[in-house]
Amino acid sequence: MGDVERIAVISDIHGNLEALTTCLADIRRRGITRIFCLGDIVGKGIHAKECVDLVLENCEVVVTGNLEVFVNEPTNPNDERQVFFTSQLDKERLDKLAALDFCYEMYISGSFVRMFHASPHGVRDRISEIGRQGDMLRAFLPSDKTISRKNADIAIYGDIHVQLMRKFHNKTLINCGSVGCATDVIRDENFDSDDMETTQVFYLIIEGAVGATEYGAPLEFNFVRIPYDIDKELEGLDRIIEPESYYNELKKGQYRDAHRLKDGYNITDQNNPA
Ligand SMILES: [Mn+2]
């Protein structure tokens, strides 16, 4: 049986260096040395380069996100986001991002765990936290992109920027949350808590017998959140694309593309999609 170990799982840094350094310091303070990253290191913020370097230095597993794919696709000069996000990175770093694995699989305390950015089927196949159960079950399936053809017992992902743990019968779906851009797709001023409930660094710690294919050792999931210096990160706001959207994401936790999502409506007025 494998030794009981802790692994920190981080995701969706989005070029936010203050958030990433706060996160890594907290992981280090706990004496955790194993860190996995589930993608979207870049995009949105101005510190893409620094975040790529820190993640590649500190994380033993790094899987690709939709943003790593986006910046490596042929540049569309009419797509301002792609032009800006790609311009932050040199060829060497782009190549490193292009070479990332799609997913990671392991046993821990007897459970078969698969980790990926958005879904086992693709980096742009979003599994929303407010989706129907049938839609969410695809998180446990294998695909032609996964390492094995096994169904997962536990699926761990990023992409939606919201921490989540949900049981489906005898399976478990977990989202580690976003380090650098925690946001909500549903906001409603009549219902919302303080913005600080969203705008922190979020990550996950797993503790269990890593590599153990037999049950017998305990398994724990610890959801962490930590405030960080948002104003310091926003000092470079004048150098960024869509500065107002980025400000609202970091300071207010409002996802910039909520209006594009069919599920992004007010919680108390579900007949009136925003
Ligand atoms: Mn993301």
Q: Taking the CA atoms of the chain, what radius of gyration do you get in angstroms? A: 18
What does pTM read for this prediction?
Answer: 0.94
Give the CA distances from residue 4 to residues 37, 88, 218, 220, 268, in Å, rounded to whole numbers and listed in that order: 20, 40, 8, 10, 44
70 CA from centroid of ligand 1 (Å): 12
Please tell me the distance between residue 97's alpha carbon and the centre of ligand 1 in angstroms.
Answer: 15
What CA–CA distance (Å, rounded) separates 59 from 103?
14
Closest C-alpha to 32, from 227, 224, 230: 224
What is the distance in A from the centroid of ligand 1 to the CA of 34?
22
pLDDT, residue 95, reads 98
pLDDT of residue 265: 45
Distance 13 CA to ligand 1 centre (A): 7
Cα 160 to averaged position of ligand 1 atoms, centre (Å): 6
pLDDT of residue 133: 81
Quote the ligand 1 centre to 207 CA distance (angstroms).
25
Around ion ligand 1, residues with a beta carbon closer than 5 Å are 12, 40
E strands, 38-192, are 61-62, 103-108, 111-116, 154-157, 164-168, 171-175
Question: What structural domains and CATH numbers belong to the chain?
Answer: 4-103+175-260 (3.60.21.10)
Kindly list the averaged pLDDT for each block of 10 residues, start to end, along the chain of length 274: 89 98 98 98 97 98 98 95 96 98 98 98 93 88 98 98 94 98 88 95 98 97 98 93 95 88 50 36
Q: What is the tens place of the pLDDT at every residue in 159-170?
A: 999 999 999 889
Distance 213 CA to ligand 1 centre (A): 31
pLDDT, tens digit, 9 for 90 and up, residues 107-155: 999 999 999 999 999 999 999 988 788 889 999 999 999 999 999 999 9
